[in-house]
Structure 1
């Protein structure tokens, strides 16, 4: 019943988009067009920023006409950083500030046509290589240090 009421209210207030909740979630585009989504917390990480140029280059090789949508919840310096990289690689970049949008994403990269990527999350598309942790050498005890035994 609440869905019906919300749809009636949206229609009464002039919401004329197809599937507006999905478009709010993905910064004005449809889920089937999204090729990469970076959660807000991850988009603030320095590691992701270092990798973003290579990630976007790889996506440009796979898809035609990509656009980068940036959350206004990111700091201005992060917004400018992502926008600059996108524009250097020939992609359109936009900071999207929409009323009533509660998106968990910081960056959305999408195509102008349906691509139907199964799971566009950054962690699925471009997982980080786990660095092998080297085992610390066994600590020598006091007596072995004293008598210089290995």
Structure 2
């Protein structure tokens, strides 16, 4: 009987015990086994994630897009539009964090059941597309600068 009273007091003081609280914080309130894909802040602002997200919405219908409430309203608006066009639920999630860094997980697409997907990140080809384009632009401007210095009138 003493254990029951202690459990009751602990629940009143600390709340109900949670399963894997660190995992739930990391994945915006859901378990890793339910996650279909995640997006970091840098992926949202620098890559074309929309086609990847749409393909995952079609492959795994009935999920919810969990979005960190600290995201800029313009990005939230884009995500709302994306989910409305694809009949996907969207839920804004408040987190304990007050600042987001480039590697923060800010978008999680999850289901109500375990899918146990091994790779939940954006494919590498999408991540590096913009980096390659930036390098091309940089080499073009460097070469133009070099030739311009050779052939410019002084």
Equivalent residue number for residue 63 of structure 1: 60
Contact 2:34 2:110 in 1 (8 A): yes
Give CA deviations for 1:20-48 in whole Å, capped at 9, x if unaligned: 221111111101111211113432x1x43
Give CA deviations for 1:96-142 in whole Å, capped at 9, x if unaligned: 114x3688211111122222222312254843433483663773775
Equivalent residue number for residue 85 of structure 2: 88
- Residue 139 (structure 1) aligned with residue 147 (structure 2): yes
Equivalent residue number for residue 69 of structure 2: 72
Contact 1:25 1:101 in 2 (8 A): no
| Aligned-CA RMSD value | 3.0
Provide the C-alpha distance between the structure 2 equivalents of 1:13 and 1:71, rounded to a whole number of angstroms.
25
Equivalent residue number for residue 106 of structure 1: 106
User: TM-score scaled by structure 1?
Assistant: 0.68
Equivalent residue number for residue 6 of structure 1: none
Higher mean C-alpha deviation, range 130-139 or range 64-73? 130-139
Provide the C-alpha distance between the structure 1 equivalents of 2:17 and 2:128, rounded to a whole number of angstroms.
40
Q: Please list, as runs of the form range in 1=range in 2, the aligned pairs for 1:33-52 lying within 5 A after superposition.
A: 33-43=34-44, 45=45, 47-48=46-47, 51-52=48-49
Provide the C-alpha distance between the structure 1 equivalents of 2:75 and 2:148, rounded to a whole number of angstroms.
47
Cα 1:81–1:145 shift into 2, 3 Å: closer
1:14 CA drift (Å): 0.8
In structure 2, runs of 5+ residues without a counterpart are 1-9
Give CA deviations for 1:37-71 in whole Å, capped at 9, x if unaligned: 1113432x1x43xx343222110232132210110
Aligned residues: 131
Contact 1:39 1:105 in 2 (8 A): yes
Contact 1:36 1:122 in 2 (8 A): yes
User: SS where residue 127 of structure 1 aligns?
Assistant: helix
Contact 1:70 1:107 in 2 (8 A): yes
